[in-house]
Structure formats: C-alpha cells, structure tokens
Amino acid sequence: IRDKFKIPYVWIVLADGHEAAHMAGELCASELLSNRMKIVERDTLLGLMGDHGRPLLVNRDLTVFYRLFPGRESYLVRSMAIVPLTLEGRIIGTLNLGDPSENRYAPGMDPSLLERLAVKVSICLSNVMAHERLKIAASRDPLTGLLNRRAMESVLKREFERAVRYETPLAVIFLDLDDFKSVNDTYGHDAGDDLLEHLAENLCRMSRSMDVVARYAGDEFVIVLPSTPAAAAGKFADRLCVFLEKNPLSLRGEPVRVSTSYGIASIDEAGVSDPASLLRRADERLMEAKGRKRRQRRVVRLER
C-alpha cells in the first residue's frame, strides 16, 4: 500500500483481546512489524473512531490520535485516515494512513478507495489467522494445548544441535503419572482428562520460559531443558513432583492424589549421540523408576 499509493506512513492497529491481536503480538519481535503494527485496548480504539464502521479522515487536532502510532518511529503527519478493519461484522482494528500534507486526508473526501483497501487487508488477516490455526492444530495436543510429540521432537532436534554447536548442557525429563488407569477406572475418563490438563498446567507453571513442555502420549510428558545439566534437571524434577503432590486436582471437592515418576538424560552421557538416543535414555530411566516403585509396593504388602 505504501509503495503503490506513495503513502509515507502505513500501519495497522489491532484491538487487544482479539485472536488477530494475540497472533500479531507474538510476531512483533520483528522490527519491521513492530514499526507497522500496534495493539491497543478495544475501548481506546472505539473511543477514538466510534463503532459506526466508516473511515475517519482528520487533519486537525491529531494529538489525540498519537496513541495509535507505533512507538519506534518518528512521524511527521498532518493528516491521516483511520479505516476500520472488520471480521464477521466486528471491528477488530484499523488500517492507518498518514501524510505530511494536511490536504491528503481531509474530512469530506470520498473514502471508497480506503474502504476497498480495508476489505483487502481484512481478508489478508483472516487468511493469516486460518493459516495459524492450522499450524497450531498440527503442532499442539488438543486436550492440554501443549506441543505434541512430533512438534517436541522437532524442537529437541533444534536444541540438541544448538547444544552441540555451542557446547552447552541440555537435559530431558520424561515424566508420567503412576497408576493413571486407576483414576480413569475410579472417577471416569472425563476426570482423567481433567487430571491431564491439571498436570499440563502445573508443568508449564513450574517451568522456565526457555523450557519446552510437551505431551508425548497418554499420561507421558516430556520437558526439554536447554542450558541445564543433569544435576540441575534432577533437582527441578524433584521440586516438580513435590509441587504436584501438594497441589492435587480437586474433583467434586475431593483431592485426587496421584504420584509421578520421571527419568532424566543429558547430552553429555556416553551413548547419547542424537536427539532420539537422548529421549530414549530418559524413557528407559523412567521405566526403571516405575519398576523400583512397583517393587517397593510389593515389599510393603509382603511385610504386612
């Protein structure tokens, strides 16, 4: 738009809280996008332009509209057009055009071209959102919202290669619930799903922003810990298990108490040569931990 119509300043404002704003917020780390996009409160946006759905052309008292300007660029604007972007009949943002000439966007001018541009931008946003939904569906577990196994393996490959290149530690935790079947048998499968969601939420709460939490299969979860040696991963896993034990799922007012087991592997171990072998080693140690618990329970029963 800027190049084709020779408009010095072109940017998009999106109303906070809408799906489009959420997706855009994740992309605004890009310097180009951060200079071409801003997210504002919906009430602020509608308060400035109203909810009538018509373009607003202004060349006087522009100070009130400064809150719509992206913050990383200097603007010399004496007239501007604020054109609503709509999806499904609802205003989700604005296409904004600015010019140093106060005559470029004077009130009373024919806004039909601006409205056509806004329709095209709205369609583009709709297509981007549909594409992002497909990406999320392909990479996320539908129950917990965590990365699925395939996406996790892709992330693990990237982190493994980075750890090798920069000679930094990397650890993996393979974790699952002990006797998850009994929860399904006692409370029903809906309760089992609630428990998995509860576990996923708390795994994310306890993990760092740089860690990667994924649902591997069933009640099995994987946590990828970049820049973390095995000893630190072990301490984290212990804290995690204690936290989960102290914060059980509440079902119909009653706590559903379950224990967890885990296995840890790190990149510097002998025999770990690739992401698959790292994950396999952690899985083997998880199985060993569960085996020890079963043997301990048998010993307790025999002593009784």
Give the mean pLDDT of 165-180: 94
pLDDT above 80: residue 297: no
pLDDT above 70: residue 53: yes
Looking at per-residue pLDDT, the higher value among 26 and 200 belongs to 200
Q: So what's the pLDDT on residue 147?
A: 95
Q: In whole angstroms, what is the distance from residue 285 CA to residue 287 CA?
A: 5
Candidate ranges 8-22, 80-94, 199-213; pick with highest mean pLDDT: 199-213
pLDDT, tens only, 222-281: 999 999 999 999 999 999 999 999 999 988 888 888 889 999 999 999 899 999 999 999
Q: So what's the pLDDT on residue 252?
A: 81
Q: So what's the pLDDT on residue 29?
A: 47
Q: Please name the residues in contact with 56: beta carbons below 8 A apart, sequence gap of 6 or more.
A: 48, 49, 50, 81, 82, 83
Domains, in order of start, for the chain: 2-139 (3.30.450.40), 149-303 (3.30.70.270)
Is 219 labeled as catalytic in the residue annotation? yes
Ranges assigned E (strand) in the chain: 9-15, 37-40, 56-58, 79-87, 90-99, 170-177, 212-217, 220-226, 249-251, 254-256, 260-266
pLDDT, tens only, 142-153: 999 999 999 999
Catalytic residue, candidates 99, 219, 238, 283: 219
Q: So what's the pLDDT on residue 18?
A: 72
pLDDT, tens only, 280-289: 999 999 999 9
pTM of structure:
0.64
The β-bridge partners of 94 are 13, 84
**Please, what is the average pLDDT of the chain?**
88
